[in-house]
């Protein structure tokens, strides 16, 4: 009875760092591993590859021991003409009893050839474009120069893996609108031949401007609004009646209407996005009153002033305004007549 675990065996496997090539001069790295897959020691091992015709000698390999070899191959003109690269290698050796073992493997790399100029592109990305509503979008721009191309594209988010796919027909410039984030990009021709574009493409979110305003304003008379911000901004204030409110010489905005005001802060350099806010105003303005002063003669010891305006439902207060102070005349509160 034979002990199969003591048989001599050798195994050769080949891998490559590319599944395809597209043009002359590309570098492809082939890696091949020689392993003693049997149960006895192997000696005098010869490894040969038949693309660049290299040979290696391995004095011995113990059971389960392996050796790794790599070669870098530059795609040649004949490879482009043939449309493929065939990499073949073999390994042989003997055990202590002179039994020979042999293994071979092959790896074929196919050529993918795009239309003329399809790979002569320049890719750039932009910041997001400001917009008042919805998700702000930026651009990944594919520029084929003066030559128009047709094909497909897929931009995939590095963060969540979401894919944004589309096509283009007879265009020299392709713009892909995307939210802010990092993306990988793959393009393909009309035959479905795909090309992964090296690198990560980043769309940066354009910053919003920052300013603070009160959420509610209450005032008896005109209120002067000043925005709190550390940036050089331009503001546009719209009153409740939809008229525009302009600032005074001190850059303060007069608020004299009750209702909802709408203020928009803008970056004069257009490097940041505008922001719109609202606030409620409750403004009480002094009423125009009609007064009558009764005739005052030299022998009179007092004067009478009458309020002729309709004050139904209103509170009436009289004040004595001096050069240094204002004193309320409490005795005549809510009276339409003042005697002084």
Calpha distance 69→91 (Å, rounded): 12
State whether residue 232 is helix, strand or coil.
Answer: coil
Q: What is the pLDDT of residues 94-141, one digit of tens each?
A: 998 899 999 999 999 988 888 888 988 999 999 998 887 778 899 999
Which residue is associated with the tokens 């490559």? 16
Residue 242 β-bridge partners: none
Give percent above pLDDT 70 in the chain: 92
Name the band, by pLDDT with cuts 50, 70 and 90, for residue 329.
confident
Cβ-proximal residues to 182 (8 Å cutoff; 6+ apart), any chain: 157, 158, 159, 200, 201, 202
Q: Is the pTM of the predicted complex or chain greater than 0.75?
A: no
Q: What is the pLDDT of residues 139-187, one digit of tens each?
A: 999 999 989 999 999 999 999 999 999 999 999 999 999 999 999 999 9
Can you give the pLDDT at residue 1?
47
- DSSP conformation letters of 144-183: -TTS-EEEEEEEEETTT--EEEEEEEEESEEEEEEESEEE
Domains with residue ranges and CATH for the chain: 4-111 (2.60.40.10), 122-203 (2.60.40.10), 216-284 (2.60.40.10), 291-339 (no CATH)
Q: What is the pLDDT of residues 67-103, one digit of tens each?
A: 999 999 999 999 988 889 999 999 999 998 899 999 9
Tokens of 332: 């005549």
Can you give the pLDDT at residue 155?
96
Q: Give the strand pairing for 326-328 and 319-321.
A: antiparallel
Which residue in 184, 42, 16 sits closest to 106, CA to CA?
A: 16
User: Are 212 and 229 within 8 A, CB to CB?
Assistant: yes
Mean pLDDT (the chain, rounded): 88
Question: Does residue 5 surpass a pLDDT of 70?
Answer: no
Tokens of 19: 């599944």
Name the band, by pLDDT with cuts 50, 70 and 90, for residue 305.
confident
Question: Does residue 59 surpass a pLDDT of 80?
Answer: yes
Can you give the pLDDT at residue 231?
66
């Amino acid at each position: 009875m034979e002990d199969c675990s003591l048989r001599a065996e050798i195994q050769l496997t080949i891998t490559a760092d590319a599944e395809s090539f597209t043009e002359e001069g590309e570098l492809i790295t082939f890696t091949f591993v020689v392993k003693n897959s049997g149960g006895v020691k192997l000696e005098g091992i010869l490894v040969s590859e038949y693309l660049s015709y290299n040979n290696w000698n391995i004095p011995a390999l113990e059971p389960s021991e392996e050796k790794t070899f790599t070669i870098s191959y530059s795609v040649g003109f004949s490879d482009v003409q043939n449309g493929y690269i065939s990499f073949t290698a073999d390994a042989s050796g003997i055990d202590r009893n002179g039994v020979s073992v042999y293994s071979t493997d092959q790896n074929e790399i196919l050529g993918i050839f795009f239309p003329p100029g399809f790979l002569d592109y320049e890719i750039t990305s932009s910041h997001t474009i400001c917009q008042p509503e919805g998700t702000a979008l930026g651009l990944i721009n594919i520029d084929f120069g003066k030559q128009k191309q047709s094909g497909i594209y897929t931009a995939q988010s590095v963060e969540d893996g979401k894919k944004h796919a589309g096509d283009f027909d007879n265009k020299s410039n392709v713009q892909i609108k995307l939210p802010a984030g990092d993306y990988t990009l793959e393009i393909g021709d009309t035959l479905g031949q795909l090309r992964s574009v090296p690198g990560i493409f980043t769309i940066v979110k354009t910053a919003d401007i920052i300013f603070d305003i009160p959420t509610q304003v209450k005032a008896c008379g005109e209120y002067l609004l000043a925005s709190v911000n550390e940036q050089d901004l331009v503001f546009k204030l719209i009153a409740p009646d939809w008229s525009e409110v302009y600032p005074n010489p001190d850059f303060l905005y007069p608020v004299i209407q009750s209702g909802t005001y709408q203020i928009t802060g803008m970056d004069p350099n257009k490097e940041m996005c505008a922001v719109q806010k609202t606030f409620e105003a409750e403004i009480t303005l002094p009423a125009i009153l009609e007064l009558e002063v009764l005739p005052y003669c030299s022998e009179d010891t007092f004067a009478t002033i009458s309020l002729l305006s309709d004050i139904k439902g209103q509170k009436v207060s009289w004040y004595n305004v001096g050069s240094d102070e204002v004193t309320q005349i409490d005795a005549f509160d809510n009276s339409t007549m003042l005697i002084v």
